Chain A
Amino acid sequence: MYRYIIKRILLVIPTLLGAAALVFLLMRLIPGDICVVRLGSGGGTFDERAVAACHAQLGLDRPMLLQFVDFVWGFVRGDFGISMWSGKPVLTEIAARFPVSLEIAIMAVVVANVIAIPLGTLSALKQNSPIDFVIRVFSIAGLATPSFWLGILLILAILNISHAAFGAPWMPPIDYVPIWKDPLRNLSMVIFPALTVGYRTSAVTMRMTRSAMLEVLREDYIRTARAKGLVEHLIINRHALKNALLPVVTLIGIEAAFLIGGLVVTEQVFNLNGIGRLFVQSVQNQDYTMTQALVMLVVTAFVLTNTVVDLIYAWLDPRIRYQ
Chain B
Amino acid sequence: MSVAAIDAKPLLEVRGLQMHFPVTEGIVINRKVGEVKAVDGIDFTVRRGETLGLVGESGCGKTTTGRCILRLERPTAGEILYDGVDIAKLEPKDLLSLRRRIQVIFQDPYSSLNPRMKVGEIIAEPIMVHGLERNPARRAARVRELLSVCGLDPKFADRYPHEMSGGQRQRVGIARALALEPEFIVCDEAVSALDVSIQAQIVNLLEDLRGQFSLTYLFIAHDLSVVRHLCQRVAVMYLGRVVELAECDELFDNPLHPYTKALLAAVPVPDPTVEAGRTFRPVRGEVPSAINPPSGCVFHPRCPIAVETCKQMRPELREVRPAHWVACTEVRV
Contacts and interface: CB of A to CB of B under 8 A. Distances in A.
Direct contact of A and B (CB under 8 A): yes
A6 B25 CA distance: 13
Nearest to A11: B28
Interface string A1-29: 00100110010000000000000000000
Nearest to A4: B27
Nearest to A7: B27
Nearest to B25: A3
A138 to B, nearest CB: 39
A310 to B, nearest CB: 15
Interface in A244-266: none
Contacts, number: 6
Interface residues of B: mostly helix, strand, loop or mixed?
Answer: loop
B314 to A, nearest CB: 35
Q: Contact size class for A?
A: under 10
Contacts of A6: 27
Interface residues of A: mostly helix, strand, loop or mixed?
Answer: helix
Interface string A124-155: 00000000000000000000000000000000
A52 to B, nearest CB: 44
A305 B272 CA distance: 68
Contacts of B27: 3, 6-7, 10
Contacts of B28: 7, 10
A10 B28 CA distance: 8
A130 B331 CA distance: 77
Contacts of A3: 27
A98 to B, nearest CB: 33
Interface in B3-35: 27-28
A14 to B, nearest CB: 10
B26 to A, nearest CB: 9
A314 B57 CA distance: 37
Contacts of A10: 27-28
A3 B28 CA distance: 10
Nearest to A2: B27
A260 to B, nearest CB: 29
Contacts of A7: 27-28
B248 to A, nearest CB: 47
Nearest to A3: B27
A7 to B, nearest CB: 5
A278 B315 CA distance: 77
Interface in A159-213: none
Interface string B122-146: 0000000000000000000000000
A57 B27 CA distance: 41
A306 B27 CA distance: 19
A7 B27 CA distance: 5
A10 B27 CA distance: 9
Nearest to A14: B28
A6 B27 CA distance: 7
A6 B28 CA distance: 9
Interface of B: 27-28
6 contacts: A3-B27, A6-B27, A7-B27, A7-B28, A10-B27, A10-B28
Q: Which 6 A-B pairs have the closest CB atoms?
A: A7-B27, A6-B27, A10-B28, A3-B27, A10-B27, A7-B28
Interface of A: 3, 6-7, 10
